[in-house]
């Protein structure tokens, strides 16, 4: 019965019929040997080594006393990190505020140069600006409603 199912197709109880075997779709050659697996022994050994053995090793470590010690150490590290979390958050907020202060100070220094340099260049005659004084430019724009 099993050999008949392999050569003539498999019975599928869900569909109520037979599933054609792969060998039945290829030209039938009675002298040809059909190998169920075409992989070499090196490929099969690689599959065994790189899939089955690591999972077995992990399971063995997980069920050992070493795993219990590692889990205790991890819990201790986690609880210590949870105690230090508010302090780290406060330090992060301080650092963020200080970085914003430095950023704004740099922009303020650039703005100061933008105020002073046009007036100095106009005063020494290097460049002839229409209006070198910065606040008069803003006032004129407000008056003109540009």
Tens of pLDDT, residue by residue over 18-27, are 555 555 445 5
Per the annotation, does 28 bind a ligand?
no
Predicted local distance difference test score (pLDDT) of residue 125: 86
Which pairs count as long-range contacts for 54-62, CB under 8 Å and 24+ apart, including other chains?
Answer: none
For the chain, the structural domain boundaries read: 53-144
Q: What three-state secondary structure class fits 19?
A: strand
pLDDT tier, 138 (very low <50, low <70, confident <90, very high otherwise): confident
Per the annotation, does 8 bind a ligand?
no
Predicted local distance difference test score (pLDDT) of residue 20: 53
Beta carbons of 21 and 6 less than 8 angstroms apart: yes
pLDDT of 7 > 50? The answer is: no
Range from 18-27, 60-69, 73-82, 122-131 carrying the lowest mean pLDDT: 18-27
Q: Any bridge partners for residue 12, and if so which?
A: 17
Q: What three-state secondary structure class fits 65?
A: helix
Q: Provide the b/e sequence for 109-143 (b: ≥16 CB within 10 Å).
A: eeeeeeeeebeeebeeeeeeeeebeeeeeeeeeee
pLDDT of 91 > 70? The answer is: yes
Per the annotation, does 104 bind a ligand?
yes
Q: What is the pTM of this model?
A: 0.35
């Amino acid at each position: 019965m099993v050999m008949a199912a392999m050569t003539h197709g498999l019975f599928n109880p869900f569909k109520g019929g037979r599933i054609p075997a792969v060998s039945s779709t290829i030209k039938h050659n009675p002298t040809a040997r059909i190998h169920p697996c075409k992989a070499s022994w090196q490929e099969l050994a690689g599959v065994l080594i790189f899939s089955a053995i690591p999972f077995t090793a992990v399971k063995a470590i997980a069920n050992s006393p070493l795993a219990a010690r590692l889990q205790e150490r991890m819990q201790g590290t986690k609880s210590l990190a949870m105690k230090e979390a508010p302090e780290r958050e406060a330090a992060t907020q301080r650092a963020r505020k200080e970085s914003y202060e430095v950023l704004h100070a740099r922009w303020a220094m650039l703005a100061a140069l933008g105020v002073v340099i046009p007036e100095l260049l106009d005063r020494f005659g290097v460049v002839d600006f229409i209006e070198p004084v910065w606040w008069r430019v803003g006032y004129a724009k407000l008056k003109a409603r540009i």
